[in-house]
Amino acid sequence: MKNKYLISMCLLALLALGSCKKDFLQQTDPDANAISKSFKTENDVLLAVNGCYSLLRSGNTIGEGSDLWTDQRSDDTGTNDNQSNAGEPFQFNNFSLIPTNSYMYTHWLAMYTVIANCNIVLSNVDKVTFAKAATKQNYVAEVKFIRALIYFHLVREWGDVPLVTKQLTSTEDVAASTGRTPQAQVYAQIVADLKDAVASPLPATQSAGVIGRISLAAVNTLLGQVYLTMATTGDQSARTANLNNALTYLTAAYNAKTFNNLSDIPYTDVFDVTKKSTCPELIWQIVNIQGDPVYSSSIAANSQAIGETTDSQKPSTSVGDNVTHDLVNDYETGDARGTFSIKYAAAATVKDWYVTKFRDVSAGAGKNGYGGNDWILMRYADVILMLAEVNQYLGNNTAAIQYLDMVRTRAGMPTYEVSSLDPVYNAKYPGLKLAILHERRVELAFEHHRWFDLLRTFSTDELVAYFKAKNQADFGSALLSNFSAKDRYFPIPFNETKLDPAKVYQNPGY
C-alpha cells in the first residue's frame, strides 16, 4: 500500500509538470513506459497474464516456500530453534506474532502486488483488439481466477482486508482504497470473479501443452472450496445454500477427471518428477524446470536433513523441514503415505523427523539441488475429500464415506466402516467429521492445506480447545499455551494500520 502511495505521488508530479506552459516541461521522457501504453497487442496481454502467474511462484505469495503462513501456522511443521537463526519466523509457529513482523508484512505486500498486476490487466485489456473473442475471454478468466485466489488467501489469513478491483492511478484512488472491507464483501467479489471464469471458454482440464495454466476443473475446484469455507466460517443463515453450491462446483470438478479410480494412480506418482506432466490426478500446479538455477524447485534440497540422502543430491547443513511429533503420531500403522512422506534423521545434530515427500535425487537436479518438483496447488484427492466433507455437513453420510474410502483405499488403508470399529481409531477420530479431517491431514501433509482445514472445521473457541488439548512435548519449542482466540487471524501489519488507524483497524488481541 505504501508503494502505491509513492507511485501515485510520482504520477501526480508528472501531471503537474505537464500542466505548465513551458515547452521544455512538455517533453516526453524517452525512457518512460507508461502502463497504459503497454497494452497494444494480444501478445502484450499474454505477457502481462504470464506475469500474474509468475508472481505465484514466490514463497512470499503461495509458492512452495510459503509454508510460514500455512503449515508452520498449523500443527504439522515448525522449528525447534527459537534462537537467533529463527527469530521472526518462529513467531508464526509459536503463536506469538506481532504487527511489526517483517516477514508477515512482506507477505502482505507480495499478495497485493499480485492483485495490483491483475487489476492492471483487467483495466487495460479492452484497449487491445483480439482476433478471436475467446482468447480475450480466457485471459480475463485467468486473471480473475488469480485475483480471486489471492483474495481467498488474504480473507482467511486476515479477515477483513482492503478490496481493490481496479488499477490505481491517483492519490485519490489510493486514499479511497485504504481501508478494510468486510469479509462478506470480499467473498462476494471472489465468487463473482470465479463465476465469470466458470462461464469462460477455458479448457476443461490442463493438457500437456498448457501445464501450469488454469482450466475449468481448477476454477470449479476453487469455487467449490470457497463456498465450503463460506458455509463453515461465514453467515450461518446461508450455510445450506453455500454447502449445496460447494457440492455443485466440486462435483463439476470431480466429473472432469480423466481417470476412472483414484486407486489406479499410485500415491508416489503424484510426486514423481518424471510423471508431473502426465499424472492425471493433478489439476493445477506451478511448473518448475529441473536443472535451471532460477526456475527450478528447491523444496527437495531444503526439506532434507543433514546426513540424509532421500530427497536431494545436495548435501544438507540443516535439520531440514521439521515435522511435529503430533503429525508423526497421526499416521495410522501401515499407512504407506507416512513411510513415503517423513523420515527420522539420526544425525547427532538432528535426531528428529523431516519431510521426504518432495524428492528429486536425479542427475538432472544434481548436487546443486535444482529440482524438477512442480508445486501442486490442486489435485483430485483434495477434491474427493472436500466432497466427503460437504456431504457429511449435508447429512449425506453414505456419500461422504464413499468419497473418504476412495482415498483410504488408494492408501491401502481399511475402509471407514472397518476402521471405525477399531477402538484406537474411534477414540482418536470420534465421528465422521474428525475422520475426514484426519484423512486430509495425512493425505495432503505439507501441501499447505492444514491450517485452512482447521479454520474450516472448528469455530474459534473449538480451535483454541483443539490446540490446548494437544501434548506440548509433541511441539518442541513452540508453546501451545500461547494459542488463543486472536490467533485465528494474523495481525494487520503495523505499516498498514498507521496509514489510517480508523479504516485499517487492528484485529482483536494484537
Spatial contact of 120 and 39, defined as CB atoms under 8 Å apart? no
d(CA 288, CA 377): 13
Closest CA to 457 of 470, 438, 474: 438
**pLDDT tens digits along 408-452:** 999 999 999 999 999 999 999 999 999 999 999 999 999 999 999
Range of the domain at 326: 299-373
Does any domain span residue 417?
no
* Percent of all residues in the chain with a pLDDT value above 70, rounded to a whole number: 92
Quick check: 32 pLDDT over 60? no
Same-domain check for residues 187 and 325: no
Contact partners, residue 466, CB within 8 Å, separation at least 6: 454, 458
Q: In one letter, which amino acid is 39?
A: F
Does any domain span residue 152?
yes
Last residue of some domain: 322, 339, 373? Answer: 373
Does any domain span residue 363?
yes
Last residue of some domain: 322, 341, 373? Answer: 373
Spatial contact of 286 and 375, defined as CB atoms under 8 Å apart? yes
**pLDDT tens digits along 4-31:** 433 333 333 333 333 343 343 444 444 4
Q: Give 86's pLDDT tier (boundaries 50, 70, 90).
A: low
The predicted model gives 99-110 an average pLDDT of 98
Last residue of some domain: 373, 397, 425? Answer: 373
Same-domain check for residues 48 and 171: yes
**pLDDT tens digits along 476-485:** 889 999 999 9
Predicted local distance difference test score (pLDDT) of residue 6: 36
Quick check: 211 pLDDT over 70? yes
Does any domain span residue 286?
no
Output 18 or 156, whichever has higher pLDDT: 156
| DSSP H or E run through 442 | helix 432-443
List the grid coordinates of 17: 509538470
Same-domain check for residues 357 and 501: no
d(CA 395, CA 389): 10
> Structural domain tally of the chain?
2
Q: In one letter, which amino acid is 264?
A: D
Same-domain check for residues 75 and 185: yes
d(CA 311, CA 61): 24
Q: In one letter, which amino acid is 228?
A: L
- Residue 489 phi, psi dihedral angles, 5° rounding: -125, 155
Does any domain span residue 459?
no
d(CA 143, CA 128): 16
Q: Give 84's pLDDT tier (boundaries 50, 70, 90).
A: very low
Does any domain span residue 314?
yes
Same-domain check for residues 194 and 342: no
Same-domain check for residues 303 and 198: no
Pairing of strands 322-323, 77-78: antiparallel
Contact partners, residue 217, CB within 8 Å, separation at least 6: 204, 205, 206, 253, 256, 257, 283, 284
Same-domain check for residues 365 and 495: no
Does any domain span residue 30?
no
d(CA 504, CA 108): 13
Same-domain check for residues 46 and 181: yes
Contact partners, residue 215, CB within 8 Å, separation at least 6: 202, 203, 204, 205, 206, 256, 283, 284
Q: In what order do the strands lie in the sheet with 342-345?
A: 77-78, 322-323, 352-355, 342-345
Spatial contact of 147 and 118, defined as CB atoms under 8 Å apart? yes
Does any domain span residue 455?
no
Same-domain check for residues 179 and 48: yes
Predicted local distance difference test score (pLDDT) of residue 15: 33
Q: What is the CATH classification number for the domain harbouring 151?
A: 1.25.40.390
Helix (H, G, I), strand (E, B) or coil at 103: helix
Average pLDDT of every residue of the chain: 92
d(CA 323, CA 354): 5
